[in-house]
């Protein structure tokens, strides 16, 4: 995929363990960084604290643009077996921050 080009893709929103919404794309996890007035949302790699500069921008429910800088780490692989993630529909009204948590 080329940077700065809009692609139509299936976006997967995931609720993490503390109830925040993250974006899962190509086995990388992104946290919401900013919602813009033009209808786009900027997402940053969840490993920003480790120096990763990976970013994506979404528009609507199915459009994504990859940032110019690559990730500095391999894709995310679930470390714990049985780890439960809640996948949310981008059009769902419950796609707002939810407070329910699932305990294993």
Lowest mean pLDDT among 30-34, 37-41, 54-58, 72-76: 72-76
Domain presence at residue 85: yes
Domain presence at residue 100: no
Domain presence at residue 101: no
- The per-residue DSSP string of the chain comes to --TT--EE---EEEE-TTS-EEEEETTEEEEEEEE-TTSEEEEEETTGGGT---EEEEETTTEEEE-SSPPSSPPP---STT---EEE-TT-GGGS--------
Mean of per-residue pLDDT scores for the chain = 76
- CATH code at 48? 2.20.25.240
Query: Mean pLDDT across the stretch 65-91?
Result: 65
Tokens of 50: 């480790």
Report whether 35 contacts 23 (CB < 8 A). no
Print the domain residue range for 12: 7-90
Domain presence at residue 12: yes
Model confidence pLDDT, tens digit, residues 17-51: 888 889 988 888 899 999 999 999 999 998 877 88
The pLDDT, as a whole number, for residue 73 is 87
Q: pLDDT at residue 104 above 60?
A: no
Which residue is associated with the tokens 């997967």? Answer: 12
Helix (H, G, I), strand (E, B) or coil at 15: strand
The pLDDT, as a whole number, for residue 63 is 92
The pLDDT, as a whole number, for residue 47 is 83
Domain total of the chain: 1
Domain presence at residue 73: yes
């Amino acid at each position: 995929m080329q940077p700065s080009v809009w692609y139509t893709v299936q976006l997967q929103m995931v609720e993490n363990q503390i109830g925040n919404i993250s974006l899962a794309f190509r086995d990388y996890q992104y946290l919401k960084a900013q919602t813009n007035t033009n209808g786009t949302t900027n997402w940053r790699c969840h490993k920003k604290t480790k120096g990763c500069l990976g970013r994506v921008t979404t528009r609507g429910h199915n459009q994504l643009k990859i940032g110019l800088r690559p990730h500095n780490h391999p894709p995310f692989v679930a470390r714990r077996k049985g780890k439960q993630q809640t996948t949310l529909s981008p059009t769902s009204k419950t796609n707002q921050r939810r407070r329910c948590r699932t305990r294993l």
